[in-house]
Amino acid sequence: MEHLLNRDPVLPRVAEAQEVLWLNPKLQPAAQALECAELGMDDIRDAQARLDRFASFIRVCFPETEPRGGLIESPLTPIPMMQKMLEERFGAVIPGKLLLKQDSHLAIAGSVKARGGIYEVLKHTEELAMEAGLLKETDDYAKLATPEMREFFSNYTVQVGSTGNLGMSIGIASAAVGYKVIVHMSVDAKQWKKDLLRSHGVQVIEYEADYGEAVKQGRAQSDADPMSYFVDDENSKNLFLGYAVAALRLQDQLREQGITVDENHPLLVTIPCGVGGAPGGVAFGLKQVYGDNVHVFFSEPTQAPCMLVGMATGLHSQVCVQDVGLTGLTEADGLAVGRPSGFVGGVMEPLLAGEVTISDPKLYVFMRALLESQDIFLEPSACASFQGPVELLKQEAGCAWCEKMGLTAEKLANSTHIAWATGGALVPADIREHYKTMYL
């Protein structure tokens, strides 16, 4: 273990499960980093166009999307009272505006996974239907919701390994299309998420092991069935691009609210991170749109900071948190991942500004603070997003980093901070009440 901890000065503190701020020494100018990337803006726009084609189908299957015309999108909400509370209670310095990107309230799955997960299911659906001669790109995709089409898709199976939220998005969307669905869930997954999936007719297989084992078993079972498709959260470019579309949607929302993002008006975003697919895709899209004017941080639990360990050691998916003495166990079920995505780590290596880690008790403190100040509920793992704005300018290293990046006091005063809320809307009322009493 010692040889791993010597790879970055922050790692000994990470190994002690301390809250840390890690600033990425391999960060490059965006143009340089993106020039070498395997994916680009054309890929993101292609994904956006596919979601647009499916809008009529989504409206039929999920009437709650009708007000947005079949668009699955979340509010971008100013939270000035929460900003004030973070400054008063936590000694934070948060210049500029603090906003909440409420992917916690995305239609269908109530989490950020509604982006990538549903997109991948829809892309697979389009491919199958086109290969069978049942769909053309110029068709009204609402035809995919007919009984005849559901009968066609019932011959196929979709499988996924998950700690919870990805399983819900894949399960609910796949069941709506008509697929047989199997979700392989790790020991960290909450019971209410399993119950919800089963209520949609999804087969849930439970494991007394972590996320990695659930994925391994799910992949093996799917590979053994030629009619089965496996959604691979660790390596899927389709998932990644579905998440990346969020950046184009956010760009429109910021414009609508009259918020400028440029060299003198920087954007700082913190996203909770598990295996890395969702935050990586969102971050990649943001860097494509805003380049060096956006600074993206990931936030992970102190016992499961797999992406931080992977990036700080440079070993990515070749290392897990247990290798540095951590348990991988956390109340933040959506972030309870021991080994990061090597694909995402490689993409993020020159693009990610840094990481913060957060203890489980603090997740609940932030959760209650948001409820008290703004009357907004998030599931605990989503509250990891507040650790970025709280820690960055509170620590000497963060202030030094801002100076190095040219983020002067004047620019920071004009900045916009976004805490990316990754889940929570589907949490049952009794579980919410239980969460309110945790660590009191």
Of 343, 340, 342, the residue nearest 324 (C-alpha):
340
Alpha helices (runs of H) in 132-164, residue ranges in sequence order:
147-153
CB 338 within 8 A of CB 328: yes
CB count within 10 Å of CB 429 equals: 7
Q: What is the pLDDT of residues 61-115, one digit of tens each?
A: 999 999 999 999 999 999 999 999 999 999 899 999 999 999 999 999 999 999 9
pLDDT of residue 137: 96
Residues 14 and 29: their CA atoms lie apart, in Å, by 27
Residue 306 token pair: 């797999």
Mean pLDDT in residue range 36-52: 96
Higher pLDDT, 163 or 231: 231
> What's the CA gap between 231 and 309, in Å, rounded?
25
- CATH topology of 2-109+238-436 equal to that of 113-236? yes
Task: Tell me the three state secondary structure of residue 137.
Answer: coil
- pLDDT one-digit tens code per residue, 125-156: 999 999 999 999 999 999 999 999 999 999 99
Give the end-to-end CA distance of the chain in Å, rounded to a whole number: 35
Closest CA to 323 of 340, 309, 342, 308: 309
Structure tokens at 184: 């392989």
**DSSP 3-state assignment of 409?**
helix
Q: Are 105 and 74 in contact (CB under 8 A)?
A: yes
Q: Between these two residues, 56 and 189, which has the higher pLDDT value? A: 56
Class of domain 2-109+238-436 (CATH, top level): alpha beta
Give the rounded percent of residues in the chain with a pLDDT score beyond 70: 100
The residues facing 270 across adjacent strands are: 297, 419
**At residue 316, does pLDDT exceed 80?**
yes
Segment 167-221, tens digit of pLDDT? 899 999 999 999 999 999 888 788 999 999 999 999 999 998 888 888 899 999 9
| 2 has a pLDDT exceeding 80 | no
CATH T-level fold of 113-236: Rossmann fold (3.40.50)
At 405 the pLDDT is 96
Q: How far apart are CA 19 and CA 50, in angstroms?
A: 40
The domain spans of the chain are 2-109+238-436, 113-236
| 375, 341 Cβ separation under 8 angstroms | no
